[in-house]
Chain A
Amino acid sequence: MHPAFFYILATVSVLAALGMIFQRHPLSAAVYLVVCFLGLAGLYAMLSAPLLAILQILVYAGAIMALVVFVIMLLNVRDEDLPHEPHMYWHLGGGLALGAALFVVLSKAIHKVPGEAAPTADLVARYGEQVGGAPKFGGIEAVGLHLFNQFVFPFEIISILLTVAVVGVVVLAKRRI
Chain B
Amino acid sequence: MQSTALVSLIPLFPLVGAIVLGLVALFSSHREVGPDKGLVGFLACLGPIMSCIVATMLFADLRTNPQGFVHVAFTWFSVGSLHVPAEFWVDRLSGVMIMIVTFVGSLIHIYSVGYMQHERGFTRFFAYLNLFTFSMLVLVLAKNLPLMFLGWEGVGACSYLLIGYYFTETEKAQAANKAFIVNRIGDLGFLIGMFVLFWYLGTKGVWTVDFATIRENAHLITPAMAGVIGILLFVGACGKSAQIPLHVWLADAMAGPTPVSALIHAATMVTAGVYMVARMAALYNLAPSTSHVIAIVGMTTAIMAATIAITQHNIKKVLAYSTVSQLGYMFAAVGAGAYSAGVFHLFTHAFFKALLFLGAGAVIHAMHHEEEMDNYGGLWKKLPFTATTMLIGCVAIAGIPPLAGFFSKDAILFAQWQQGWYWLWGVGLFTSFLTAFYMFRMWFLTFLGTPRDHHAYDGAHEGPAVMNVPLAILAAGTLVVGFLGLPEAMGGSKFAAWLAPAVGAHAHLPADLSGKALEAATYGLHQTEYLLAAFAILGAVAGITLAFLRYGGQATPVFGRARGLFALFQNRYFFDHINDAVFVRGSIDFLGWGFRHVVDRWIIDGPIRGLPTLYYKFSDTVRVMQSGAVRTYAYAMLLGTLAILFVVMSGWSLLRF
- Point out residues on A near B: beta carbons under 8 Å: 98, 101-102, 105-106, 108-109
Contact of B638 among A98, A106, A108 (CB under 8 A): A98
Q: What residues on A are CB-neighbors of B635 within 8 Å?
A: 98
B639 and chain A: residue at smallest CB distance: A98
A108 and chain B: residue at smallest CB distance: B649
Q: Which of B217-225, B280-288, B615-623, B640-648 lies at the interface?
A: B640-648
Q: What residues on B are CB-neighbors of A105 within 8 Å?
A: 642, 645-646, 649
Structural contact, A101 and B642, CB atoms closer than 8 A: yes
B352 vs chain A, min Cβ distance (A): 74
Number of interface residues of B (CB under 8 A): 8
Q: List 8 A–B pairs whose Cβ atoms lie within 8 Å, in order of A's numbering.
A: A98-B635, A98-B638, A98-B642, A101-B642, A105-B642, A105-B645, A106-B645, A109-B649
- Point out residues on B near A: beta carbons under 8 Å: 635, 638-639, 641-642, 645-646, 649
Q: What residues on B are CB-neighbors of A101 within 8 Å?
A: 642
A105 vs chain B, min Cβ distance (A): 5
B635 vs chain A, min Cβ distance (A): 8
8 A-B pairs besides A105-B645, A108-B649 with CB distance below 8 A are: A98-B642, A102-B641, A102-B642, A105-B642, A105-B646, A105-B649, A106-B645, A109-B649
B645 and chain A: residue at smallest CB distance: A105
Structural contact, A102 and B638, CB atoms closer than 8 A: yes
A91 and chain B: residue at smallest CB distance: B631
CA of A97 to CA of B649, assembled, Å: 19
CA of A101 to CA of B635, assembled, Å: 13
CA of A105 to CA of B644, assembled, Å: 11
Q: What residues on A are CB-neighbors of B642 within 8 Å?
A: 98, 101-102, 105
CA of A106 to CA of B646, assembled, Å: 10
Q: What residues on A are CB-neighbors of B638 within 8 Å?
A: 98, 102
Q: What residues on B are CB-neighbors of A98 within 8 Å?
A: 635, 638-639, 642
CA of A158 to CA of B465, assembled, Å: 79
The 4 A-B residue pairs with the shortest CB-CB distance in the complex, in nearest-first order:
A105-B645, A98-B638, A108-B649, A102-B642
Q: What residues on A are CB-neighbors of B639 within 8 Å?
A: 98
Q: What residues on B are CB-neighbors of A108 within 8 Å?
A: 649
B591 vs chain A, min Cβ distance (A): 59
B232 vs chain A, min Cβ distance (A): 56
B511 vs chain A, min Cβ distance (A): 74
CA of A108 to CA of B642, assembled, Å: 13
Interface of A, secondary structure class, is helix
Q: What residues on B are CB-neighbors of A102 within 8 Å?
A: 638, 641-642, 645
Q: What residues on B are CB-neighbors of A109 within 8 Å?
A: 645, 649
Q: What residues on B are CB-neighbors of A106 within 8 Å?
A: 645
CA of A93 to CA of B107, assembled, Å: 98
CA of A101 to CA of B645, assembled, Å: 11
CA of A98 to CA of B641, assembled, Å: 11
B48 vs chain A, min Cβ distance (A): 58
A10 vs chain B, min Cβ distance (A): 23
Q: What residues on A are CB-neighbors of B649 within 8 Å?
A: 105, 108-109
A133 vs chain B, min Cβ distance (A): 42
CA of A105 to CA of B641, assembled, Å: 11
CA of A105 to CA of B647, assembled, Å: 10
CA of A98 to CA of B642, assembled, Å: 9
B642 vs chain A, min Cβ distance (A): 6
CA of A108 to CA of B649, assembled, Å: 8
A142 vs chain B, min Cβ distance (A): 34
CA of A102 to CA of B646, assembled, Å: 9
CA of A101 to CA of B643, assembled, Å: 10
Q: What residues on A are CB-neighbors of B641 within 8 Å?
A: 102
Most chain B beta-carbon neighbours within 10 Å: one of A105, A108, A109: A105
CA of A98 to CA of B643, assembled, Å: 11
A109 and chain B: residue at smallest CB distance: B649
Q: What residues on A are CB-neighbors of B645 within 8 Å?
A: 102, 105-106, 109
A112 and chain B: residue at smallest CB distance: B649
B445 vs chain A, min Cβ distance (A): 86
CA of A164 to CA of B141, assembled, Å: 58
CA of A119 to CA of B338, assembled, Å: 91
A27 vs chain B, min Cβ distance (A): 22
B635 and chain A: residue at smallest CB distance: A98
A125 vs chain B, min Cβ distance (A): 37
B543 vs chain A, min Cβ distance (A): 86
B507 vs chain A, min Cβ distance (A): 73
A155 vs chain B, min Cβ distance (A): 30
A99 and chain B: residue at smallest CB distance: B638
A92 vs chain B, min Cβ distance (A): 13
CA of A106 to CA of B641, assembled, Å: 11
A130 vs chain B, min Cβ distance (A): 40
Most chain A beta-carbon neighbours within 10 Å: one of B639, B641, B645, B646: B645
A146 vs chain B, min Cβ distance (A): 31
CA of A108 to CA of B648, assembled, Å: 11
CA of A109 to CA of B645, assembled, Å: 10
B636 vs chain A, min Cβ distance (A): 12
A88 vs chain B, min Cβ distance (A): 13
A44 vs chain B, min Cβ distance (A): 26
Q: What residues on A are CB-neighbors of B646 within 8 Å?
A: 105
CA of A105 to CA of B640, assembled, Å: 13
CA of A106 to CA of B649, assembled, Å: 10
B644 and chain A: residue at smallest CB distance: A105
A85 vs chain B, min Cβ distance (A): 12
A105 and chain B: residue at smallest CB distance: B645
A100 vs chain B, min Cβ distance (A): 11
CA of A102 to CA of B641, assembled, Å: 9
B318 vs chain A, min Cβ distance (A): 78
CA of A109 to CA of B646, assembled, Å: 11
CA of A101 to CA of B638, assembled, Å: 10
CA of A80 to CA of B646, assembled, Å: 42
A102 and chain B: residue at smallest CB distance: B642
B560 vs chain A, min Cβ distance (A): 90
CA of A100 to CA of B103, assembled, Å: 92
CA of A108 to CA of B641, assembled, Å: 15
CA of A93 to CA of B649, assembled, Å: 25
A175 vs chain B, min Cβ distance (A): 27
CA of A47 to CA of B645, assembled, Å: 28
CA of A105 to CA of B642, assembled, Å: 8
CA of A158 to CA of B639, assembled, Å: 31
B641 and chain A: residue at smallest CB distance: A102
CA of A109 to CA of B641, assembled, Å: 14
CA of A102 to CA of B644, assembled, Å: 11
CA of A98 to CA of B639, assembled, Å: 8
A47 vs chain B, min Cβ distance (A): 25
